[in-house]
Amino acid sequence: MEPVVIDDLKVDIHRGGLLRTLRAEDTDDGRQILALLDSALGVSSPKAIYKEAFIDARGDDYVVVEGIEFKSRILRINLDGAHRVFPYVVTAGRELDVWSFAVTGMLEQYWADKIKEAVLHSAFRDFTSRLIATYSLGTTAVMNPGSLDDWPISEQKKLFQLLGDPTAAIGVELTDSYLMIPTKSVSGIRFATQTTYENCQLCPRENCPGRRAPYDPLLYENRYKAISS
């Protein structure tokens, strides 16, 4: 299947929630933040590229998707029973980066960064809901290169290869260290599943602001650890 580009992702940011996050409700700072938000929304153009891709082969610690081998024991186990996956890249867009470069003042730049983050999260929610509805996926899970040691960030290069040319399509490029530009971009593989899964379940990092599920110290041992011969 050919990659699909979405260039009309919806952005719906709860203003009160943003001000609460920034501890700026009913303050002069809050009014400045909302003015910055309006300015950002006037130029933002979040985009996504994704592909319906099919699994060719599996090994003990790898899975081959349309000729490209992704090396990860956890990804391999999570894809048991799956025959297709949906690699993707979603970005808040280069337009927001250009906008934020013109923001002056350390505090204002911090607010601008949080606004770009909120735009990305909102756009990603819209992308996810559209993808699930389009393909009637039901329950899904996501894995992201670099989120766990088992699937290193260097695998970003293979994901981009699978998607063709995300740089030309939506303006997202990889650095030599496999980070994405614009930085407010996310990538991964979404797949239908009957088992609840979050990367956070395998990550012991404490006090993580992005945590979506509690750490399960027994999960790797029980579900993913290879059986010694």
- State the chain's mean pLDDT as an integer: 91
For residue 49, what are its two tokens?
């590229």
Percent of the chain with pLDDT over 90: 80
Neighbours of 52 (CB within 10 A): 15
Query: Does residue 88 contact residue 98 with C-beta atoms inside 8 Å?
Result: no
Q: Which of 25-29, 151-155, 203-207, 212-216 is the most confident on average?
A: 151-155
More confident residue, 26 or 130: 130
At residue 70, does pLDDT exceed 70? yes
Res 86 pLDDT > 70: yes
The reported pLDDT for the residue numbered 229 is 42
Per-residue confidence band for 20, with pLDDT thresholds at 50, 70 and 90: very high
Nearest in space to 145 (alpha carbons), one of 135, 134, 156: 156
DSSP 84-121: EEEEEEEE--HHHHHHHHT--SHHHHHHHHHHHHHHHH
The pLDDT assigned to 99 comes to: 97
Domains and CATH numbers, the chain: 4-224 (3.40.109.40)
Average pLDDT of 188-215? Answer: 74
Name the band, by pLDDT with cuts 50, 70 and 90, for residue 81.
confident
- Higher pLDDT: 138 or 81? It is 138
- Rounded to whole angstroms, what are the CA distances from 21 to 14, 27, 104, 201, 220? 11, 13, 21, 25, 33
Residue 161 pLDDT more than 80? Answer: yes
- What pLDDT does 195 receive? 73
- For 169-185, the pLDDT digits (tens) are 999 999 999 999 999 99
Mean pLDDT computed over 94-103: 96
185-206 mean pLDDT = 80
- Of residues 227 and 101, more confidence is placed in 101
What tens digit of pLDDT does each residue of 33-47 get? 999 999 999 999 999
